[in-house]
Structure 1
Amino acid sequence: MSMINEKDFKQLANYKNETCVSIFIPTQRAGKEVLEEKNKKHLHSEWTQIKKKLKEDKVAEEVIDKIGKPIQSLIEDRDFWRHQSDGLAIFASADFFEKYTLPVNFEAYHYISKEFYVKPLVPAMTGDARFNILAIQLEDVKLYEASRYSIAQLDIEDLTPTRLEERVGYDYRERVLQFRTQAEGGDKTQFHGHGGSERDEKTEIKQFFRAVDQGIKDYLQKENLPLVVFCQDYFFPIYQEANTYNHLFDKVVPGNPNDTDLMGIHGRALEVFEPYLNENRDKKIEKYKELSSTENTTSAVSDIIPAVYQGKVDTLFIENRAEVWGKYNEDNMKVEFSEDHQDGNISLLNLAARKTIEMGGKVYLVEHEFMPQKKSKMNALLRF
């Protein structure tokens, strides 16, 4: 399962070739659409349109074949289509091919230029959207770093016990920990064992959770990202008692994380945490509005792009699903606008987005109704 990271993004953003093809399609994780191979057919349709356009542009048949070979192989890979998320991004040229399965609801789109179209991927590079997921069971502990668009498992094998028995002793199974809810309508869980054990199972679970907390605490404190816990809901109050990390999220992702795959863990965690991912974006929007009458903001694309190249842009807001075509002359810092994507014109929004990330700024794709200055498709909050 290939998901985007900073290294991948920079490689895509800096890649140049006479013919670069970027493809985005929505995909389904499961259900009737998957059985009917709708995802595969969608890619086939996009590639058919792209081939026609490349031929119209007089691109050599040899180049088209080189671009299309891995795409065609992907179309025919039945196993690949059984393991999808919400969107698929493909980047191809005669000597480059990469694909990313992402939890992003892309609209079907393709872009042909001398560069790749990375704008839809840019939010994954916004650091304040990252968080950690602790998937914990009595016999399994895993830690992930995630964003709205990515998830990766972290190696914590040497930091924590991997199962409760390692912490409280291997006679634990002999006492058979049980969870029994109270009479119907009750909302508490009773912990009890067999064999007349003097040890309290809840205390032992808390001891295990405390060991996990202490094991990952130093690692978590390097960046102080929010920590979201994925476990059965009756475990979460015990983990809260054991926890000493200051950025523990106060809502649990309920369920057994071992009942789903990597994409499922990411999707379930997003359902709980996503409303909080926009907090920093919203603060930046409010700051833009507060400063809108000063020289620290601009909504003029002809001013924004030179400012991006000079490293003056702190935060860039780009209207989602919008486009501005044209060219930028870096030597004289002049922007030329066009009505369409013809005659060597490029996406100026794509250019501004990737360059802002390169220069250390942040980029947010924003729906029209949330843009700070709605008359423009791009707004910039400048550095003081």
Structure 2
Amino acid sequence: MSMINEKEFKELANYKNDTCVSIFIPTQRGGKEVLEQKNLKHLHSLWTEASKKLSAKGFEKSKLDTMSKKFEELLDDKDFWRHQSDGLAVFAAPDYFKTFSLPVNFEAYTYISEEFYVKPLIPAMNGDGKFHILSLQISDVQLYEASKYSITPIDIDDLTPSELEERVGYDYKEKALQFRTQGAGGEKTQFHGHGGSERDEKDEIKQFFRAVDQGLQNYLNKEKLPLIVYCQDYLFSIYKEANTYNHLVDEVVDGNPNDSDLLGVHEKSLKIAEKFLNKDRDSKLEKYKEQSQTENTSSAPSDIMAAIHQGRIDTLFVENRAEIWGTYDEDQMKTEIDDEQTSENSSLMNLAAKKTIEMGGNVYLIQDYLMPEKESKMNALFRF
């Protein structure tokens, strides 16, 4: 299973080939649909349809066979299909094949062109709503950077546990906190050691958590992102006493992190993070509305396309589940818009989104009712 990062997104956005196939399907994480192989059958159906289109267009048989073999290998990978998120994206060309499982409900969609269709992946790249997740246990500490559509482990081996053991002053794994869990279902862990009193045990835990806090302080303060903690509730109350980081989220993901895989950690943390994820987007929307009668905004696709290539776009809003087909001549800075997709045009919204990100701008994929100027499928806030 693979979630996407910035490097992989740029690789997809910059990839060119005579034939690139992008397929998106909604997927289920478990239940009857997985047992009945609904996800697998859905992808098989869309690829069968796409391969027929390619064959009808005279696509070279040897290259088509190469691509089909990759799809067959994926369809036969039972372990892959047992571990899905909410959406699957597949990007295929004769010499390229990658898949990404993401916690987003894609609409089923197939795009065949000389480029990959990365528009549905845009939310993972716009930087909006980034946050950290601290997976906290007595014997283990893990840190992740996450957004609505991604989660990435952060290497903190130089901060914990080795450095923390030195700060605490003893080997907490073997000496300080001998523990056992009573019963099943994640009941409160009982601690025994150094006097055995509840007060001493809490002080030892707090000392350890204070070392965690101090060990992560420099890293967390580089970006000052919200920090969500995933641990048992009673441990979180102790961590809050030890914490000095100003952006700690006051609500905990209650449970044992060992009970969740990477996507589970992300999913549970996202339920808390969603309350602040859209802060930057909403701020940009408000700024657009304030300046909508000035030259600092535009809802005209031709003006927006030229401004994007000039590096003038601060923020681009593109309507989700909408499309603009056409061509853009960069030399002439001329946009031609067509009524439908043809073999001669491509998605202008896909081009606009990836080019804006390449030029350092922000892109938000939003519902039609949130668009500042709803008569257009693209709205742009200019830098100058």
Instruction: Report TM bin, short chain.
Output: over 0.9
| 1:333 aligned onto 2:337 | no
Partner of residue 176, structure 2: 172
Taking structure 1 as reference, are residues 196 and 178 closer, same or farther at Cα in structure 2, changes over 3 Å only?
farther
Query: After TM superposition, what 4+ stretches of structure 1 lie above 3 angstroms from structure 2?
Result: 162-174, 176-179, 189-199
Measure how far apart 1:368 and its partner are.
0.6
| 1:157 aligned onto 2:157 | yes
The equivalences for 1:285-296 within 5 A come to 285-296=285-296
Identity %: 62
Partner of residue 300, structure 1: 300
The equivalences for 1:200-279 within 5 A come to 200-279=200-279
Look up the SS of the partner of 1:62 in the other structure. helix
Moved more, 370-379 or 198-207: 198-207
CA distance in 2, matches of 1:137, 1:163: 16
Partner of residue 196, structure 2: 197
- Preserved contact between residue 177 and residue 191 of structure 2 (Cα < 8 Å): no
Measure how far apart 1:301 and its partner are.
0.5
- Preserved contact between residue 90 and residue 98 of structure 1 (Cα < 8 Å): yes
Summarize deviations over 1:321-341 as a string: whole Å, max 9, x none.
000101111111111111111
Q: What is the identity, as a one-letter code, of the residue corresponding to 1:197? A: G
CA distance in 2, matches of 1:26, 1:217: 39
Partner of residue 56, structure 1: 56
- Preserved contact between residue 177 and residue 192 of structure 2 (Cα < 8 Å): no
Moved more, 197-206 or 26-35: 197-206
Summarize deviations over 1:96-115 as a string: whole Å, max 9, x none.
11111111110110100000
Look up the SS of the partner of 1:246 in the other structure. coil
Q: What is the identity, as a one-letter code, of the residue corresponding to 2:12? A: L
CA distance in 2, matches of 1:55, 1:197: 74
Taking structure 1 as reference, are residues 341 and 250 closer, same or farther at Cα in structure 2, changes over 3 Å only?
same
Measure how far apart 1:116 and its partner are.
0.5
Partner of residue 73, structure 2: 73
Partner of residue 117, structure 1: 117
CA distance in 2, matches of 1:69, 1:223: 44
Q: What is the identity, as a one-letter code, of the residue corresponding to 1:172? A: A
Partner of residue 184, structure 1: none
- Preserved contact between residue 27 and residue 87 of structure 2 (Cα < 8 Å): yes
Partner of residue 369, structure 1: 369
Moved more, 164-173 or 103-112: 164-173
Summarize deviations over 1:294-330 as a string: whole Å, max 9, x none.
0000000011000000000000000000001011111
- Preserved contact between residue 313 and residue 381 of structure 1 (Cα < 8 Å): yes
Summarize deviations over 1:272-312 as a string: whole Å, max 9, x none.
11121111101100110000000000000011000000000
Partner of residue 145, structure 2: 145
The equivalences for 1:32-51 within 5 A come to 32-51=32-51
How many residue pairs get aligned? The number is 375
Taking structure 1 as reference, are residues 228 and 196 closer, same or farther at Cα in structure 2, changes over 3 Å only?
closer
CA distance in 1, matches of 2:262, 2:158: 21
CA distance in 2, matches of 1:353, 1:197: 60
CA distance in 2, matches of 1:165, 1:76: 46
Measure how far apart 1:255 and its partner are.
0.9
Look up the SS of the partner of 1:381 in the other structure. strand
- Structure 1 unaligned residues grouped into runs of 5+: 180-188
Partner of residue 130, structure 2: 130
Look up the SS of the partner of 1:138 in the other structure. coil
